[in-house]
Every structure is written in C-alpha cells, then in structure tokens.
Amino acid sequence: MRILLLGGTSEARALAARLHPAIEVISSLAGRVPDPALPVGEVRVGGFGGVEGLRQWLRDEQVDAVVDATHPYAATMTAHAAAVCAELALPHLVLARPPWPPGDAIVVPTDVEAAKTVAAQGFGRVFLTTGRSGAAAFKGVDAWFLIRAVTPPEAADLPTRHHIVLSRGPYRYDGELALLREHRIDALVSKNSGGSMTRPKLDAAAALGVPVVMVDRPPLPDGVATVASVDEAVDWVSGRS
C-alpha cells in the first residue's frame, strides 16, 4: 500500500513512524518552515501546483490513499486534497487534533476580525501568536505587538510598534508566564491550534487574567472522514492495507 501523508505536524511525524516500514509512506511538507523536523521514510517538500498538479501527482505516483495531517489552518491544502480524492475515488482521511475548549476567549472567524476586536477593546500590549502570515491583519491597529513566529513576517506586513520573537514550540508554562509578565501583555491573540505544544500560553494567560482573542478553525470540507488521534489513523490505514 502506498500512502500520501500530508504533514508538517507532530501527529503526522508520529503517524509516519507508526506506519513505517510496513506501509510505504510519502510524507509531504509545504516547505514554508526552514529546517523542519523530518518524519521517517520518504519525504517530498513543496507544493503540488494546485488541484491539477495534485491530481496528476497522485496518478503518476500510483498512490492508494491520502491521509491529511496538516495544520488545522491549512485550509487550501485540505480542500484540494478532499476534492481530488473524491474525483479519483481515493480513500481519504483527515487527522485533525481536537481544538482547545474556548472557555472565556473571544472567538472570531478570521485574523481580520481578531484585529478589529483588538482595536475595539482598546488593548495596548498584545501577544500575537497567529504565525507569520497573521501579522498583516494587524498592521493598522494602534497597539504594541509581541509577535512570535517560526519565520519572520514580511516587513511590509508588520504593525508600526512591535517586537518579534522567532522560536518554535513546544513551550512551557513557566516560560510563557514570564514572557507575559516581562512584556506587560494585556491581550493574547491565538489560533485554536489544539494540542499540548502551544497550550501553555493559554494557561499562563488564564493565570494572569489576560483576555484571549481566539481565531476559530476553518471548517473541514463536507463529507470527509475524520479522526482525532494517531491511533485511530493507524487503524484506518491498517483496515485498507
């Protein structure tokens, strides 16, 4: 059996390790992060060239099934995979880690709405953790931003007042607590990524009474099969091998 595993997450790496070498797995990474953590087995890096490119690649590589374990906000890749697999009648699974319970967070649908909320609430010192592409929505907001990302945002996308921290999780509660205190943060903006690697920032914000603005996940395509754990994904693949 030959599997295309759309990856880039810790779950994807764990799944590749569980399946290899009994199942032939080709892990695909988008290539947006320098020096990524690589899974075991065969790896390809870079895009497919949209729906047409993905369709042709799956045919050329004679792939038997696709498992999408991309980041919950990789909506374009997820939509393309769902459309092509439906067209080709390929077995297709989405491994989506459970979201965090929003609690008292202000939940908004997009980065743009998050920026409007920050401005409307009058927050002055904001910890922005929506990734390099999320900074652009906050460019015109009159606040100071602590921006954390793996790679730096484009200079043209940055708010006027900001400080950039380049780092990659996992993060620890004590470190997040110290960061919020050091920079006198009065609001946290986060995507609802789920998982344990970046959860400590929410716990630290709750401990300090810092409000959270949370960007909700994009919806999954209609009709896709989904699981919430690596164990379930292994069972799904094993049932088709």
The CATH number covering residue 44 comes to 3.40.50.720
Give pLDDT, residue 241: 78
Position 14: which residue type? A
pTM above 0.85, yes or no: yes
Question: How many domains are contained in the chain?
Answer: 2
pLDDT (average), residues 160-182: 96
Q: Are 158 and 88 in a shared domain?
A: no
Separation of CA 40 from chain center? 20
Q: Are 134 and 209 in a shared domain?
A: yes
Which structural domain range is residue 53 located in?
Answer: 2-98+218-238
Give pLDDT, residue 185: 98
The DSSP secondary-structure symbol of 43 reads E
Q: Are 208 and 225 in a shared domain?
A: no
Q: Are 81 and 144 in a shared domain?
A: no
pLDDT (average), residues 89-94: 98
Q: Are 187 and 230 in a shared domain?
A: no
Q: Are 119 and 203 in a shared domain?
A: yes
* Residue in 53, 57, 43 with CA at minimum distance from that of residue 6: 43
Give pLDDT, residue 160: 95
